[in-house]
Chains A and B, each alone.
Chain A
Amino acid sequence: EDQVTQSPEALRLQEGESSSLNCSYTVSGLRGLFWYRQDPGKGPEFLFTLYSAGEEKEKERLKATLTKKESFLHITAPKPEDSATYLCAVPDANSGYALNFGKGTSLLVTP
C-alpha cells in the first residue's frame, strides 16, 4: 500500500509562473514529512522537514506547508534553475523509520 503519492508527475512552467506540487500521505502518527530536490544524476538534497499540521517552512522561492493528509510545495516566481525533481517522504515505522519516498514531481521551468 502506497504511503506517499505525489502529483503531478511532471509540471512545465514558464519562468515567473507560480504553482504548487502536492504530496499526500496515509500514515498514522506522522513523524515528519520531508521534501527533497534531486537534480539529474545526483543524490537528493534535503529541503524541509514539517512535523505538524499548519506548519510552514520557506527557502528562497519555495514554501512547504502541511495539513493532516497532505503537503504542498509552493513555488513562487520560479526560475529555470528551479528545474529538478522534487521528492517528498515520510518515515516508515515498518522499516525502522527509514524514509518512504513518493515517485516525485519533475519540474521544468522554461525561460
Chain B
Amino acid sequence: AQKITQTQPGMFVQEKEAVTLDCTYDTSDQSYGLFWYKQPSSGEMIFLIYQGSYDEQNATEGRYSLNFQKARKSANLVISASQLGDSAMYFCAMREGPPGGYNKLIFGAGTRLAVHP
C-alpha cells in the first residue's frame, strides 16, 4: 500500500500568492513524523518543515506552514507569498516511529511547483 500520496503532479501559482501542496499518508503507528523537502533543479534535497504526530500546533517555518489534520491523515504544505525561487519539486515524506537512531523516510512522488511572475 502506498504510504505517502501526493495527488498533484504539477501546480502553478502567481508570484506573491499562497499555494497549498497536498499530502496524505498511511500508517498504523501512533508515533510518526512528517517532513517536506524541496528539490530544485540542482538535485539537492532541502529540508523545509517537520511535524511530529504528537505535536498539537501546526508547524511553521518562515513562509512555510504545515496544515496537519491527523484524523484525515493529511499534511499539506502551505507556502505563503510565493517567490520565483520557490519553483522546484516538493516531496512529502514520513518517518514511522519516534525519532531516534533510525529515521528512515518514505517519500511521495512529488509535486512540481512553478511560480509565475
The answer to whether A and B come from one shared complex is no
A interface residue numbers (CB < 8 A to B): none
Residues on B lying within 8 angstroms of A by beta carbon are none
